[in-house]
Chain A
Amino acid sequence: MARSTPSIPNSSMADIAFLLLTFFLVTTTMPNNSGLSIALPPPPEATPPEDVKIQERNMFKIQVNSSDALLIEGEPREDLHNLKDEIKAFVLNNGRDPASSDNPEKAIVSFKTDRGTSHKRFIEILDIIQGAYYDIYADQAGVTNAKFREAASDLSIPENKAIYDKGRDGIPLNISIADPTKVGGN
């Protein structure tokens, strides 16, 4: 008696798998959890307005108006190529140039926008300012910029914390993002 072996037809398995694969390919979104990280100042009413005198030489002023035009240290500017190097020179001046900062701890990069400034422009400038600071930190810690930012993202690992502390030593991230002006309306 010839016994026929029972079998499930499996020629269509690949088709079914392809169908599922296509579904997941289409619906998948890679999570994006990266960006420019900043820390906001404490709530407005918690800190009574103090009359802190900041010397003119310790401020690096960047202003953007509602049509995204730029004013750097009082001068209109189109070309952003040298801005990063200028900020680095300003922070690391250490009193050499009497028109520039006293030391990195006192140096403040002030960034003021208008309510009508576009988010794209804001990110572009903030990227340059943070880039300057990260370059300085990376130099001081003796690693590359990318490596420093990677270390700063996860401080729970002791090695990363060591790199981060070495880079940040004596140079606070003094970026002041002022409340926007209201010239350009909403």
Chain B
Amino acid sequence: MSKFKKKTEVKQEIPTSSMPDVVFMLLFFFMVTTELRETAIEVKQSIPKATQLRKLMRKSLVANLYIGEPTKPALYGKEPKIQADDVFIEPKDIVRWVNEKKSELAENERDQLTVSLKVDKDAKRGIISDVEIELRKANARKLLYSTLQVKEDE
């Protein structure tokens, strides 16, 4: 019996004094990497997947356009719409929007503006090609179809 009693005296606690340090480290990581959204996206965004992705290095040169079915069909209907910043726009407004985006950049970087199209995978080519024609008119010819990475089996 005495043998058993001795065994129970072994200390079994996990040291928790360093837990706040660990938590703070994680906290700082997420605080640094996080970016708060400036815009609430009001169109469906189920982004398609692809394998041959290229990255855009400079975020300041990217302007985003969101295209998809509105998430609130009661308010905006079911037809796919184009969202730029915080508002829905029509294809004819795109030239003005591009010029606004260009005027925010330094003069020597204006021709490097890349438009990133974040298109829902169920959207149709029709609306996207309307956008492309307007972008050509606005002379913003660098285009990126935003996609996610597929895991390649090679």
Contacts and interface: CB of A to CB of B under 8 A. Distances in A.
B48 A120 contact: yes
Interface stretch (B7-15, B52-60, B83-91, B102-110): B52-60
Interface residues of B, number: 55
Interface in A27-46: 27-44
Majority secondary structure, B binding face: mixed
Contacts of B133: 44, 179
B18 to A, nearest CB: 10
A58 interface: no
A171 to B, nearest CB: 16
Contacts of B55: 33-34, 150, 153-154
Contacts of B143: 37-40
A17 B136 contact: no
B39 to A, nearest CB: 12
Nearest to B115: A40
Nearest to A186: B126
Interface string A125-151: 011001100100000000001000110
A13 B136 contact: no
- Best-buried of A32, A113, A145 by chain B (most CB within 10 Å): A32
A37 B61 CA distance: 14
Interface of B: 19-20, 23-24, 26-27, 30-31, 33-37, 47-57, 59, 62, 79, 114, 116, 119-129, 132-133, 135-137, 139, 141-149
Sort A-B residue pairs by CB-CB distance and give the 5 closest, nearest first: A115-B126, A24-B30, A120-B121, A127-B50, A28-B34
28 contacts: A21-B27, A28-B34, A29-B35, A32-B148, A33-B62, A33-B146, A34-B147, A35-B116, A35-B144, A36-B147, A37-B54, A37-B56, A37-B144, A39-B142, A40-B142, A43-B136, A43-B139, A118-B125, A119-B128, A120-B48, A123-B121, A127-B51, A145-B52, A149-B53, A153-B54, A180-B125, A185-B126, A186-B124
